[in-house]
A and B are shown apart, each in its own frame.
Chain A
Amino acid sequence: MYGYQMTQMVKEITKGELNITEGALYPLLHKLEEQGVVETETEMNGNRMRKYYSLTKAGKKHTVNAMDEMKAFMQSLEFIVNPKPIVG
């Protein structure tokens, strides 16, 4: 997936709720590349060059862990906002 495609996809999936600015996206992608989470390849389309990003093996593992962490965090938040009454 390439940079512009990501911004459009996020916009589409979240129905415009989430908007990734270009100024934030590329520095983040470059950081993830340095951390080995994503890898890049380029493709020529006529005279035009496009850079594609894809998750590495480590990146896929990292994504699963990050999602688990986020779920746990969301659950904790819910407990705080909506505490269950103690029965007894």
Chain B
Amino acid sequence: MITEAQYESLFAFCRKHYVHYYDVQVELVDHLSEAIEEKIKLNPKLSFEQALDSVYAGFGIKGFADIVATRMEMVSKKSRKQKWKLFFSYFTVPKIAMTLCIYAAILLLGKFLTQDYFRGVFLAVLGVSLFVFEIIYSIHLNRLFKKQIKEMIFTNERLSGIIDTVFFVQILFTSSVFDFAEAKQMHFLAYSLISLFMLVIFVSILAHRDFVKELHSGALKLYPKAFA
């Protein structure tokens, strides 16, 4: 049986071999410790270091590199699937009711905004609000991971896969839709298309929020020691 200090030294061994992520380290350390114990049991003359070298040789010429690379690729793939699933859940029963209500309300409002520039100004205000909402929410969601003390591939996924509202601001201010042929009032079709695009962005923010919450509870359950 290897000692606690030797067990802990295996984490340092993983880091030395470029495995910086705790979720990969946990699995490798468990494997190494079991294999080392088995080797020492079969040959009690072997030192811990000798057994470790022999076990590490079993990982082949690339060592841990392939394991980390595949893990990164697979976690990213799985997360992408999950994010799309959560995104599309806002367009299926029962959440679609909320999505449709929001869109109907925006369209209805657009019908009443008949004065010069009002539709454009309203969408600009809405876009900026969405941008502020996204920033505030990102800060809020990041707080969930404040207690995370060990970096993991698993939780790094929270940082990717959101449609940025900056896209919207760019589209609104650089496209000719807003000021086409010096028209003072935005055409209702353009208004409904841009607001649909904004709704998609809003839904993506909500879906991302759901994803990060799931990720956080999953990480807590699977890797409680990664959190203080």
Contact = CB atoms under 8 A, between A and B. Distances in A.
Given A34-B78, A49-B26, A23 B60 contact: yes
A42 B218 CA distance: 11
Contact of B26 (A4, A30, A33, A51): A51
Interface string A18-43: 00011100110011011000001110
B127 to A, nearest CB: 36
Interface stretch (B42-50, B69-77, B173-181, B209-217): B69-77
Contact of B33 (A26, A41, A44, A48): A48
Given A34-B78, A47-B7, A49-B225, A2 B58 contact: no
A7 to B, nearest CB: 8
B30 A31 contact: no
A61 interface: no
Nearest to A19: B58
A3 B30 contact: yes
Contact of B7 (A26, A27, A33, A48): A48
Give the interface size bracket for A toward B: 20 to 34
Question: DSSP class of B's interface residues: helix, strand, loop or mixed?
Answer: helix
B7 A42 contact: no
A50 interface: yes
Interface in B58-104: 58-60, 62-63, 66-67, 69-71, 74-75, 77-78
A39 to B, nearest CB: 11
A2 to B, nearest CB: 7
Contacts of B4: 47
A47 to B, nearest CB: 6
Among A3, A27, A49, A50, the one with the most B-chain Cβ atoms within 10 Å of its Cβ is A49
Contacts of B35: 4
B58 A51 contact: no
Contact of A30 (B28, B30, B60, B74): B74
Given A34-B77, A47-B7, A26 B70 contact: yes
15 contacts: A3-B30, A21-B58, A21-B60, A22-B31, A23-B62, A26-B70, A27-B71, A30-B71, A30-B75, A33-B78, A34-B74, A41-B222, A42-B222, A44-B224, A49-B26
Given A4-B30, A23-B58, A31-B74, 12 more contacts: A3-B30, A4-B35, A8-B38, A26-B71, A27-B67, A27-B71, A34-B74, A34-B75, A42-B26, A48-B33, A49-B26, A49-B223
